[in-house]
A and B are shown apart, each in its own frame.
Chain A
C-alpha cells in the first residue's frame, strides 16, 4: 500500500476538487493516455486507474465512501510511517478577507524514535575539475582532501575519483580506492590541464556510482569546480533530474569566484542536494569530511514533499532550513534530499491564500511526505499530512512563533541580496547599491559584521563598476543563505521541546 497513489493524486486534483475540476483533469489525462493514442507501455494501465478514480469521485455517494476508506487507510499509513511531522503556522487563524493574504508554514520531518539507525553503506563519487585554473594550491588541497576521504572508507563503502577538463578521466576506480597506496599513486596523476566541461565529468562519475549502486545505502556525487561550463548546462541538468529519480543526490562545491552559482544550485537542487562555496581551497578537506560524515548517518534518501495544495492556495516560495539550507522549487513536489538520523528536515513555505468567505476552516494542503528507507532496502514510505487551519473574522493578536520569525528574518536578508543582484543585472546599479547598504544595516543589527562589510564593499563596487563582482555575489549569496540554518541546529542535535 505504501507509495500507492490515491485517486486524488492520480488525477492531480486537490481533495476538495469540484466536479468541474475532476472533469477537466480526466479529459487531460484521456488526451495523453487513452489506449487509442498513448505511446509508452503501461500507459493503458495508468489510464484505466485514472478512469476508475474519475468514475468514483464524480459519484457523490461513491466519493463519500471512498473518502472514508481513504481516511482510514491514511491513518494506518501514518501509524506505520517511519516519519513524523509537525506543522507550525505564522498565525493562529487565517482571516476572512475579500483580498489575498500571505501565510507561512514551517514543516518539520523527523524519523520516529522506533526507526533503527544502521550506518548505511556509502557509495560516493568525487568529480573534480582539473582545468588549468585549478593548478597549484587548489588542486593540491583537493587532492589531499580526496585522499583523506578514501582513508575514512569503511568495508561496505565504495568510492571513486573522476577528473575532468574537456574530457573525463577515471583517476581512482572503486577497486583502486580500496588500496590506499594505489589510490595515492593514482591521485598524484591528477594534474591541471584544459578547459571545463562538466557534463563529461558528471557522466563518468555517475557511471561509477551505477557500478556499485546500493538500495540499502546512500548514492552520492560531489562535484568540485572552479569554472563555468559552456554549452552543456542543459545536458547536465537533464542528467541530474534523471538520476535523482534513482535516488542519487549531488552536492556542488564551488571554489573561488568564477564558477556559475545559479547553474550549480539548479543542478544540486534537482537532486535534493545543496551547494557550498569556498573562497579559499584550504577548507576543502574539512568540508568533504563533513559531507561524508553526514552521508554515513542517512536513514532515508530521496525524501520529498508531494501531494497538492488546495485550490485556494498557491505556493510562493519554499526554503529548506535544515539539515542544509537551500532554496527549493516553488511547485510541488519539493526535493528535500537525505534525512540523517538525529536530524530533522525543516522547510518553510510561503503561500498566498485567495480571498476567503465566511468559512470557519480551510484545508491548506494534502501533503505526502515520501522517502526511501535505507534499512529496508530502499522501500518507499509515504506519510499523508493534512494541513487545515482555522479561519476567523478577527486578526490574531499573538505574535508569530519565534522559529518562523527567525527564519523569515534570514530569508528577508537572502532575498535582498538576490534582488540587488537582479537589479544590477537589469542595469539599475544605484538601486542595487542602495539595497545592499540597507542589507548591510540589517546584517549589522543581526550581529553579522563580516557579511555587513561585504555588502558595503559590494555597494561601493557597484557604484564604480555598475555590476556585482563575481566574488561578492557569492559571498553575499552563500553567506546569507547560511543564516537560514537555525542557530541552535549547528551542532546537529535535535532540540525536542
Chain B
C-alpha cells in the first residue's frame, strides 16, 4: 500500500489519485510504504545525519536547492535574497523561485511561502506567514524570524522538501 501525503488514506500501489481526497499521488514513492518503528524514527531525527553526497551542479552554480521528490536542482545564484512560493496568474508579487510547476499546490506551498537571505554571517531562511509553515530539519520556524541554514539541511515548505546545497569557492 502507499499513503496519500495529504489525507493519509491508504491506496494500492500504482494509484494515481487519492480516492479519498482527490490529491494526485504521482510524487508518492511508487513502492509500498515501509512502516518504520517510531523509536527508530525519533532516534534518527536526533542524530545528525551525514550529508548526502554533494551533487555536481550542471550550471556551475555554487549554491542551490535540491527538490527531494525529483532530484532537480534550483539555482541560488545572482541575488542576495530569494523568495520561495508558487506563482498564480494575476498575482502581484511573484516569488523569485516559482515552485508551481513542481506540484507545489498539492504540497501545500503558499504563494509567498518563505525567503532565503544571503548575509555576511551566513545563509538564513525565514517563513513569510505561510499557511502550512516552514521547517528546517523537522523543526518548525516562527513566522518572520530568520534562522541560519547550512549545507545539507532539509527545508520543508508545507509538505515540499528541499535540500540546501552549498559549495564554497577555493
Inter-chain CA distance A186–B15, complex, in Å, is: 56
Inter-chain CA distance A415–B24, complex, in Å, is: 14
B32 touches A102 (CB 8 A): no
| Chain A residues, Cβ within 8 Å of B12 | 99-102, 352
| Chain B residues, Cβ within 8 Å of A104 | 14, 16
Within 8 Å by CB of B22, from A95, A103, A413, lies A413
Q: Bits for A68-98, please: 1 = Cβ < 8 Å to B, else 0.
A: 0000000000000000000000110011010
**Residue among B1, B17, B31 with most chain A CB within 10 A:** B17
B22 touches A439 (CB 8 A): yes
B31 touches A395 (CB 8 A): yes
Q: Bits for A373-415, please: 1 = Cβ < 8 Å to B, else 0.
A: 0000000000000000000000111011000110011011101
**Residue among B13, B14, B31 with most chain A CB within 10 A:** B14
Q: What would be 18 A-B contacts, judged by CB atoms less than 8 Å apart?
A: A91-B14, A91-B30, A97-B32, A99-B13, A101-B12, A101-B14, A102-B11, A102-B14, A102-B16, A103-B14, A352-B12, A400-B16, A400-B26, A409-B17, A412-B22, A415-B22, A438-B21, A442-B22
Is B105 among interface residues, defined by CB-CB distance under 8 A? yes
| Chain B residues, Cβ within 8 Å of A95 | 13-14, 30-31
Inter-chain CA distance A408–B11, complex, in Å, is: 15
Inter-chain CA distance A102–B17, complex, in Å, is: 11
Shortest beta-carbon distance from B90 to chain A in Å: 13
Within 8 Å by CB of A404, from B11, B16, B19, B22, lies B16
Interface size class of B (residues with CB under 8 A): 10 to 19
B14 touches A438 (CB 8 A): no
| Chain A residues, Cβ within 8 Å of B26 | 399-400, 405
| Chain A residues, Cβ within 8 Å of B21 | 438
A408 touches B17 (CB 8 A): yes
Please give the residue numbers on chain A whose beta carbons come within 8 Å of chain B beta carbons, in ascending order: 90-91, 94-95, 97, 99-104, 352-353, 395-397, 399-400, 404-405, 408-409, 411-413, 415-416, 438-439, 442, 445
A102 touches B15 (CB 8 A): yes
Chain A minimum-CB-distance residue to B105? A445
Given contacts A99-B13, A411-B17, are A396 and B32 in contact (CB under 8 A)? no
Chain A minimum-CB-distance residue to B1? A99
Shortest beta-carbon distance from A395 to chain B in Å: 4
The 9 closest A-B pairs by CB, nearest first: A395-B30, A412-B17, A102-B14, A101-B13, A102-B12, A101-B14, A412-B22, A102-B15, A408-B16
| Chain B residues, Cβ within 8 Å of A397 | 30
| Chain A residues, Cβ within 8 Å of B19 | 412, 415
| Chain A residues, Cβ within 8 Å of B24 | 405, 409
Shortest beta-carbon distance from B7 to chain A in Å: 9
| Chain A residues, Cβ within 8 Å of B15 | 102
Within 8 Å by CB of A97, from B11, B13, B29, B105, lies B13
Q: Bits for B30-43, please: 1 = Cβ < 8 Å to A, else 0.
A: 11100000000000
A95-B31, A99-B12, A405-B16 known, 4 other contacts, Cβ within 8 Å = A95-B13, A99-B32, A409-B17, A409-B24
| Chain A residues, Cβ within 8 Å of B17 | 408-409, 411-412
| Chain B residues, Cβ within 8 Å of A416 | 22
Chain A minimum-CB-distance residue to B26? A399
Inter-chain CA distance A395–B16, complex, in Å, is: 14
- Chain B residues 121 to 162 lying within 8 A of chain A, measured CB to CB, are none
| Chain A residues, Cβ within 8 Å of B13 | 95, 97, 99-102
Shortest beta-carbon distance from A148 to chain B in Å: 40
Shortest beta-carbon distance from A419 to chain B in Å: 8
A438 touches B22 (CB 8 A): yes
- Chain B residues 19 to 67 lying within 8 A of chain A, measured CB to CB, are 19, 21-22, 24, 26, 29-32
